[in-house]
Structure 1
Amino acid sequence: MDQIIDIATDGRHLSRDRGFLKVSEDGQEIGRTPLNQIAGVIVHAHGTTWSTSLLCELAGRGAPVVLCSSNHAPKSVLLPIEGHHAQGARMRAQWQAKTPMIKQAWKQIVTAKVLMQAAALAAIGEPPASLRMMARKITSGDSTNIEAQAARHYWPRMMGPDFRRDAAGTEANALLNYGYTVLRAATARAVVAAGLHPTIGLFHSNRGNAFALADDLMEPFRPLVDSAVRTISKARGATVDSEAKQSLARLIAIDLPLGDGLTPVSVALMKLATSLGQSFEAGKLTLALPAPPDSLTFAGLGQ
């Protein structure tokens, strides 16, 4: 099962020891994890050091290394240069994709996100009808910005009437930052593994954003993080401690309905990125987007 490794204590050294990531402190080993189980490494601590051989090994396996600021927002992501045997052709197809296809892809992604938000609200006893109605009104490229309208309806009901989403904020906002960082790392890994370029987004296009496509593709999965943060905040308080991090890191293993069965989030992200790459090459859009999980699954997030 894919795992997210979080380094939050100062002074740790990370290295490769045969097939393992080894964590040491003052020359003494304190833990190790098989490299083939690692979906990503997130580093928050000061004074962390690592060996070049470890970074090369992680890159070869497509596992990103994410460096975070004090509010748990990602500042840098280390990813491999090569991620797929047909990477060159697929990136050219990505760059040359026609605007109508890109707009239709964004419509489908926003629709999936709003329906996931609706399911998340339904799981906590909030009426989902308004969001489901909004989802039916989403147009190509979301030209009427239903995504923003849905967010204004969604956040007060999910997190409380006084909540304001602020990436520079503390408490619940910091928890959301951490959960989104986990999700962004898993999505960036999926994008590169599918032979796509993470900078070339569908909607996100900030010139300074090197992971625009990852930010696009993770959108339908964000309400999973939101639900988990709500549960954590109510049960234990909005502190980004080790228990909260473990709960949020486990989200990539949650099963979602996809196709005829259930698929873990990390695999669903892989399938979504791969389907987008195949769509670019074929010139016909076929996205593998998950459906929302049941209410019991939402209720268990964050525990």
Structure 2
Amino acid sequence: MIKRTIYIGTPSYLKLKDQQLLVQDPNGSEKGTVAIEDMALLVLDHYQITLSTQLLNQLQSHCIAVITCDSHHLPFGVTLPLYGHTEHSERLKHQLEASEPLKKQLWKQTIIQKIKNQEALLNLYNRVAEPMETYWEQTKSGDSTNTEAKAAQHYWKYLFPEFQRHRFGQGPNNLLNFGYAILRSIVARALVSSGLLPVLGLFHKNKYNPYCLADDVMEPYRPFVDKMVVNYVNNNGKTNELTKDVKAYLLGIATQDVLIDGMQRPLMVAVTTTTASLYKCYAGELRSIKYPELD
């Protein structure tokens, strides 16, 4: 069963009742319920939302990512349990003992698949894609020649005409930022479920970043967010406002079908396949991470 993403953007009181999330308005009137076991993400996008500790504990016991948004309505923080797998200590042992050559090879695989997916997206919209094949073919262990950045320059130049990718730039940067933040939370949740620490990255090592591994693993998935944003812009034009409808559309990234390991799977399920294969690489059971292919 596909887990649900729940978005709450109005003043609300959230509590646990009969193993369900109960949503009440400030006057105490019931607005709705959702079974805890059906949820994967809970997005809180209002400063006047209150939730009980009992509910929070239950959400954590089911490895549900609770995402809070900032004043710009962009995902700002995520709450996850300290562990989400019965073999947590055993799996951490393999992650901590992973060698640098192994991590460099896994990062190479990650960048190759990211560039391949970017190439596929450019081809899908009849953009100039020829140089992308050269970039992923030339990617070396640890991406020592920085082909990721070279490919990105070409990719953004042709994906959106007259566009510059900036964190706080004009639209559709806002749409991309929102989609990436949700994607990051999905990946972090899957890593915890697979018994891995999101803080210990393959490539990213920023001491201020608690989700280095999530930032690594999400790279080949970014073009799936880009695809949703391109489709939105093509149908609605660029917008600098993250409306309720825009956010509802982008939250659908979790259920987008992707091709992974020869099968079509919802993205949220595919991410779990990826993180499970990453653990097997750490443990010496696999040599390659299973990543999605954009078709």
**CA displacement at 1:30 relative to structure 2:** 1.5
**CA displacement at 1:262 relative to structure 2:** 1.2
Distance 1:71 1:170 in 2: 13
Q: Is the 8 A contact 2:43 2:66 kept in 1?
A: yes
Distance 1:34 1:120 in 2: 36
Structure 2 residue aligned with 1:298: none
**Selected match of 2:272 from 247, 270, 273:** 270
Q: Is the 8 A contact 2:15 2:21 kept in 1?
A: yes
Structure 2 residue aligned with 1:287: 289
Structure 1 residue aligned with 2:58: 57
**CA displacement at 1:72 relative to structure 2:** 4.1
Alignment partner of 2:98: what SS?
coil
1:69 and 2:70 correspond: yes
Q: Deviations over 1:212-259 (max 9, x none)?
A: 111111111111111211222232242311221122111211222222
- Residue range with higher mean Cα deviation, 90-99 or 277-286: 277-286
Structure 2 residue aligned with 1:300: none
Structure 2 residue aligned with 1:179: 179
Alignment partner of 1:291: what SS?
coil
Distance 1:198 1:270 in 2: 13
Distance 1:210 1:203 in 2: 13
1:125 and 2:126 correspond: yes
Q: Is the 8 A contact 1:110 1:147 kept in 2?
A: yes
Q: Is the 8 A contact 2:19 2:35 kept in 1?
A: yes
Structure 1-normalised TM-score? 0.91
Q: Is the 8 A contact 2:128 2:158 kept in 1?
A: no
Structure 2 residue aligned with 1:242: 244
**CA displacement at 1:168 relative to structure 2:** 2.5
Q: Is the 8 A contact 1:198 1:213 kept in 2?
A: yes
1:39 and 2:40 correspond: yes
**Structure 1 residues without counterparts, runs of 5 or longer:** 294-303
Q: For the aligned residues, what is the CA RMSD?
A: 1.5
**Structure 2 residues without counterparts, runs of 5 or longer:** none
Q: Is the 8 A contact 1:190 1:270 kept in 2?
A: yes
Structure 1 residue aligned with 2:92: 91
Alignment partner of 2:188: what SS?
helix
Structure 1 residue aligned with 2:31: 30
After TM superposition, which residue ranges in structure 1, 4 or more long, deviate above 6 angstroms?
A: none
Distance 1:222 1:121 in 2: 13
1:2 and 2:17 correspond: no
Which one-letter code corresponds to 1:259 in the other structure?
D
Which one-letter code corresponds to 1:82 in the other structure?
Y
**CA displacement at 1:150 relative to structure 2:** 0.8
Structure 2 residue aligned with 1:12: 12
Q: Is the 8 A contact 1:256 1:292 kept in 2?
A: yes
1:80 and 2:81 correspond: yes
- Residue range with higher mean Cα deviation, 270-279 or 18-27: 18-27
Distance 1:153 1:182 in 2: 25
Distance 2:278 2:252 in 1: 25
Which one-letter code corresponds to 2:147 in the other structure?
I
Distance 1:203 1:181 in 2: 19
**CA displacement at 1:32 relative to structure 2:** 2.3
- Structure 1 267/174 Cα, relative in aligned 2: closer, same or farther at 3 Å? same
List aligned pairs for 1:148-187, cutoff 5 A.
148-161=149-162, 163-187=163-187
Distance 1:64 1:170 in 2: 29
Alignment partner of 1:282: what SS?
coil
**CA displacement at 1:83 relative to structure 2:** 0.8
- Structure 1 73/213 Cα, relative in aligned 2: closer, same or farther at 3 Å? farther
Distance 2:23 2:170 in 1: 29
- Residue range with higher mean Cα deviation, 237-246 or 179-188: 237-246
- Structure 1 67/170 Cα, relative in aligned 2: closer, same or farther at 3 Å? farther
Alignment partner of 2:259: what SS?
strand
Alignment partner of 1:167: what SS?
coil
Structure 2-normalised TM-score? 0.94
Q: Is the 8 A contact 2:109 2:288 kept in 1?
A: no
Structure 1 residue aligned with 2:144: 143
Q: Is the 8 A contact 1:3 1:249 kept in 2?
A: no
**CA displacement at 1:6 relative to structure 2:** 1.8
Q: Is the 8 A contact 1:7 1:45 kept in 2?
A: yes
Q: Deviations over 1:126-161 (max 9, x none)?
A: 132211221111110001111111110011211222
Alignment partner of 1:23: what SS?
strand
Aligned residues, how many?
291
**CA displacement at 1:73 relative to structure 2:** 4.0
Structure 2 residue aligned with 1:301: none
**CA displacement at 1:58 relative to structure 2:** 1.1
**CA displacement at 1:170 relative to structure 2:** 4.7
